[in-house]
Amino acid sequence: MNITVVGAGYVGLVTGVSLADIGHCVTCVDVNKDKIAKLKVGLSPIHEPGLESLMQKNIDENRLSFTSSLKECLKDTDIVYIAVGTPQNKDGTANLSFIEIVAEDIALNISKDIVIVTKSTVPVGTNEYIGGLIKAKTPKDISFDIVSNPEFLREGSAISDTFNGDRIVIGAENDKAASIIEQVNKPFGVPIFKTDIRSAEMIKYASNAFLATKISFINEISTICEKLGANVDDVAKGMGKDKRVGNQFLNAGIGYGGSCFPKDTNALVQIAGGVEHDFNLLKAVINVNNNQQALLVDKARQRLGSLEGKRIALLGLAFKPNTDDMREAASIVISTGLLQEGSEVIAYDPIANENAKHVLSNEVQFANSISEALTEVNLALIITEWREIIEMDFNNVRRLMIEPIIIDGRNCFSLDMVKDKGIEYHSVGRPAVI
Ligand code: NAD
């Protein structure tokens, strides 16, 4: 199949590269010309394990190319995937302006029958809405189908997720379109679940909202554990052994961030509100998460008293390990809180330092290594559980810091691991080790 993927970001690029790797002929389109220039020479604009080598392989084998002209692609494409951003509006609703621009672009340049597949996360009813927009401007002798195919990849393991996903959801209004997209995806070997368009759109939001609920639930439990002297990690392990509960997404910590959970949970509250349903449960999940992100600043204040003039290291800045994505990262809230209280903030991330420089306050100082970040600080906060951070040398902590105090927002170490290491260790939902 000849496939065009519009939007070469975290989702579009991974989708395009993966579709090429299973044998399709793929062109990725992006309005960002710098991105396209980089992609054309085989450089990935994002950090995603395994992406760049797979991309280069498929460029070399002539199945993958890049352009900034959708018009050119539409001349001989069979399928157009839409994978542009749907960021959050100020009121929490999903911003569909990028989607609308692409729909308009397709409508003006469509020259043969095609299937249009929406990968972007969009509110229920959006596929019908964009179908209407395109239909209004498409010549009468050309037909197209719209398919909702929401994306479930996780940044940091996106390639592996694409080839080993739990399911591919295909929402279509007719069997023909559904079966075309089923055939396209078959070589992935991932189970396919077919449904109607509205249900497919809802599956994406409901899945993210449910996972966010699990995270906020265990974080609430962690707060209670901490007050009662229980260990939330053991509690989660014990709960997770029940198959009905499941052991994933029960890691207590400083909450979820990133480009999806925060905006998608807010959007679902708005979607529910649009049909006069007050989604109280999800509102509470969001509230818990907001408080959780600020937890480390409270813990730092409790330990050090005033934070004024204190030098504090932030270890890990990206919203999760193995990505350079800083969207809605807890480090933003935490660094802002610390600066407001007069602390000096020294930040380090193995990969996301450059992106973080554009996002964090220019008062934040950046270090090039864990050791540099720890040098002469009063306190170190662990924000992201990068392997390098999990494997850090406690001798350095003792040697370099003014006082060897760590507050770990991701419970990177078991309490046994930090015992008798000459450091003071605080974490989330577990007794302190002093
Ligand atoms: P992104 O911001 O990384 O990428 C979007 C890309 O679209 C950008 O490169 C941008 O330049 C490009 N773009 C914007 N307008 C365009 C146009 N008119 N023509 C061509 N290109 C255009 O976003 P993302 O993280 O890849 O997310 C895309 C969608 O997928 C969102 O709806 C998101 O909610 C959803 N999603 C994201 C993830 C994730 O982990 N990032 C996972 C599942 C679903």
Nearest of 167, 162, 185 to residue 48 by alpha carbon = 162
Distance 85 CA to ligand 1 centre (A): 3
Atom of ligand 1 nearest to the CA of 122: 32
Domain 294-426 has CATH 3.40.50.720: yes
Closest C-alpha residue for ligand 1 atom 30: 120
Q: Ligand 1: distance of its center to the CA of 245 in Å?
A: 32
User: Which own/partner contact pairs does 128-135 have at CB distance under 8 Å and 24+ positions apart?
Assistant: 128/197, 128/198, 129/96, 130/82, 130/99, 130/100, 130/103, 133/100, 133/103, 133/104, 133/107, 134/103, 134/106, 134/107, 134/110, 135/107
**Predicted local confidence at residue 118, as pLDDT:** 98
- pTM for the structure as a whole: 0.95
Q: Determine the residue of 6, 11, 100, 101 to mutate for testing ligand 1's pocket, defined as the one with the most ligand atoms within 8 A of the Cβ atom.
A: 11
The answer to whether 42 touches 56, Cβ cutoff 8 Å, is yes
Please, are residues 297 and 338 in contact by the beta-carbon 8 Å criterion?
yes
What does residue 406 show for φ and ψ, rounded to 5 degrees?
-115, 135
**Short-list 167, 11, 181, CA closest to 83:** 11
pLDDT tens digits, one per residue of 256-276:
999 999 999 999 999 999 999
How much is the pLDDT for 184?
98
Q: Do the domains at 2-195 and 204-291 have one common CATH topology?
A: no
pLDDT in tens, the chain (434 residues): 999 999 999 999 999 999 999 999 999 999 999 999 999 999 999 999 999 999 999 999 999 999 999 999 999 999 999 999 999 999 999 999 999 999 999 999 999 999 999 999 999 999 999 999 999 999 989 999 999 999 999 999 999 999 999 999 999 999 999 999 999 999 999 999 999 999 999 999 999 999 999 999 999 999 999 999 999 999 999 999 999 999 999 999 999 999 999 999 999 999 999 999 999 999 999 999 999 988 999 999 999 999 999 999 999 999 999 999 999 999 999 999 999 999 999 999 999 999 999 999 999 999 999 999 999 999 999 999 999 999 999 999 999 999 999 999 999 999 999 999 999 999 999 999 99
- CA of 60 from ligand 1 middle (Å) equals 25
219/379 Cα distance (integer angstroms): 23
Instruction: Tell me the C-alpha to C-alpha distance, in Å, between residue 17 and each of 8, 21, 221.
Output: 10, 6, 41
CATH number for region 2-195: 3.40.50.720
Ligand 1 site residues, Cβ closer than 6 angstroms: 6-12, 29-32, 35, 83-86, 98, 101-102, 119-121, 151, 153, 155, 259-260
Backbone angles phi, psi at 59, to 5 degrees: -65, -45
pLDDT at 373: 98
User: Residue whose CA is closest, atom 34 of ligand 1?
Assistant: 121
d(CA 204, CA 124): 10
Is this prediction's ipTM beyond 0.90? yes
Report DSSP state, residue 26.
E
**What spacing in Å lies between the alpha carbon of 86 and ligand 1's midpoint?**
7
- One-letter amino acid identity for 300? A
- Residue spans per domain, the chain: 2-195, 204-291, 294-426
Specify the pLDDT at position 102.
Answer: 97
Residue numbers annotated as active site: 260
264's tokens: 């998608």
Q: Cα(324)–Cα(253) distance, rounded to whole angstroms?
A: 20
CATH number of 204-291: 1.10.1040.10
